[in-house]
Amino acid sequence: MKVHILLGPPGSGKGTQAKRLVQQFSLIHLSTGDILRDAVSKETEIGLRAKAIMASGKLVDDQTVNGLVFARLQNETQDVLFDGYPRTLQQAEALEDFLSAKGFVLGLVMNVEVPDGVLEARVVGRRVCSNNACGAIYHVETKPPKQDGVCDLCGSPLKHRSDDTAEAFRSRMDEFDSTFQPLLGFYRGRDTYRAVDGNRAPDMVFETLSRTFKEHA
């Protein structure tokens, strides 16, 4: 079993691209943000602890996130694409240990690079399908749904994530800035690392990612 990683700041389009990649290459999509939001909506013990942290744009602690991920990976046989994990050097190191203990392999690490200046508008205008099983992602200006507030794919209402406000975004960027460089340092020198220009139309970014995947995964 192989795990692949999509890195990138909030608003880089990782979630949108991950959904397309998993379809095209028959991967399991593991978004720690989705797993945590699901725990929040089900009011599990972890969800109750994570709710306020997530709403403020801070990171949930490494031990909790690693525990959720490893439980999910434990018996996985299909290749996996991570979206939003690892987020810290500690998570990357723990993942590395977990993979080698299980005999799993680290595949591609793809970093979707987007300049800071365009991220806030992407995040604040983002709307997501409230049906977790669908999870389609829209933008009020660049990708509006056909009918206002309604998902094109499944007809469920769209929602504005509570951490997609300008204030929470700034806190998420602060977290990102303080954790990303060490994380990048962990992967950048490896021959499975690829940086991808994410400041282009989504279809073009997808074309690059899927080509990279075909060539190297």
Q: Which residues bind ligand AMP (CB under 6 A)?
A: 10, 32-33, 36, 53-54, 57-60, 65, 84-85, 87, 91, 163, 172
Q: Which is nearer to ligand AMP, 96 or 207 (CB)?
A: 96
Closest distance of CB 65 from ligand AMP, Å? 4
- Residue 201 CB, shortest distance to ligand AMP, in Å, is 21
In angstroms, the CA 153 to CA 5 distance is 26
Please provide residue 182's backbone torsions phi and psi, each rounded to the nearest 5 degrees: -60, -35
Catalytic option among 14, 19, 37, 194: 14
| 49 belongs to the catalytic site | no
Which is closer to ligand AMP, CB of 28 or CB of 103? 28
How far apart, in whole angstroms, are the C-alpha atoms of residue 21 and residue 26?
Answer: 8
Decide if 200 is catalytic.
no
Instruction: Please state, as a whole number, how many other Cβ atoms lie within 10 Å of the Cβ of residue 5.
Output: 25
Output 18 or 209, the one with its CB closest to ligand AMP.
Answer: 18
Which tokens sit at 35?
Answer: 């797993």
| Least gap, CB of 104 to ligand AMP (angstroms) | 18
Active site residues: 14, 87, 126, 161, 172
